[in-house]
Amino acid sequence: MPDITNLYLFISAASLLLIVPGPNMAIVTSHAVAHGWRAGLAAALGITLADVLMTVAVSTGLGALVMSWAPAFNLVRWAGACYLMWLAWQALKSRPTDTGSHATLASKEKIFLQATFNSLLNPKALLFFMVFLPQFVTIGGSHVTTQLMFLGLLLALMALIFHFLLGLCAGRLNGRLRDGLIDRRLGAYCFAAVMASLAARLLLLSRPS
C-alpha cells in the first residue's frame, strides 16, 4: 500500500479528474437519460469492470507490452470508433418504444457490455492507467504490483460511486420522457449524438510518441 501522503494525493487527483467531462461520463449520462437510472448504474458497473481489467493489465505489465507494438494503438482506436458508430446507428434506426420496466430490464446486460467494451476499446484509457497510477507508487514500500493493484481498484471504486450518482441525476430526465414532457425520440437522438461524438474523438486521437 502507498504511504499516506501519496494516498491523499492520489485521492485528490482522482477526484478532480472524475469531475472533468469525458467519455465515461457521457456514456453513463446518455444511457441514464435514454433508459433511466438503472441503465446508468449498469453502464457504471461496465466501466468499473473495464477499469479493473485495465488495472490488472497495468499491474502485470501486459498493458506496456501491448502498447509497445506500434499498430496496437490504431487497431484498438479503429475498433472502438466502429463499435461506437454501430451503437449510434442502432439508436437512430430503432423505433420509439415504451420505456417501462420490460424494455429497461431487457437492456441491462446489453448496456453493461456496451459500457465495458467502450472503455476497453479506448486506447487512451489504458495509457491513462499506465501513466497515472505509477506516479503514486511509494518507492521502497510494498511490492510495486501490489501498490498498482490497490491504486487501480481504489480508482475504480471512486469512479463507480461518482458514475452511480451521476446516473441517478441524469435518470430524472428519463422520468420526463416517460411522462411525455419531452419527445421520446430525443433520448435516442442524444444517445446517437454522444456515440458519434465519441467515435470522432477516437478517430482524431494520435499515438503518443
For residues 57 and 72, is the Cβ–Cβ distance under 8 A?
no
Q: Tell me: the pLDDT tens digits for 78-130?
A: 777 787 787 778 767 765 544 444 444 448 888 999 899 888 887 778 777 88
Yes or no: say if 173 and 34 are a contact pair by the CB < 8 Å rule: no
Can you list the alpha helix ranges (DSSP code H) found in 68-206? 70-93, 101-106, 108-120, 123-132, 144-178, 184-203
Q: Tell me the average pLDDT of the chain.
A: 78
pLDDT, tens digit, for every residue of 132-166? 888 888 776 668 788 889 999 999 999 999 999 99
d(CA 50, CA 68) in angstroms, rounded, equals 20
Q: Where are the domains of the chain?
A: 22-203
- Residue 45 DSSP one-character state: H
Give the pLDDT of residue 199: 77
Grid cell, residue 119, equals 472503455
C-alpha 179: how far from chain center = 29
- Dihedral angle computed from the Cα positions of residues 148, 165, 23 and 155, in that order, rounded to the nearest 10 degrees: 0
Within a 13 Å sphere around the CA of 38, how many CA atoms are in the beta-carbon half?
14
Q: How far apart are CA 124 and CA 71, in angstroms?
A: 14
CATH of domain 22-203: 1.20.1250
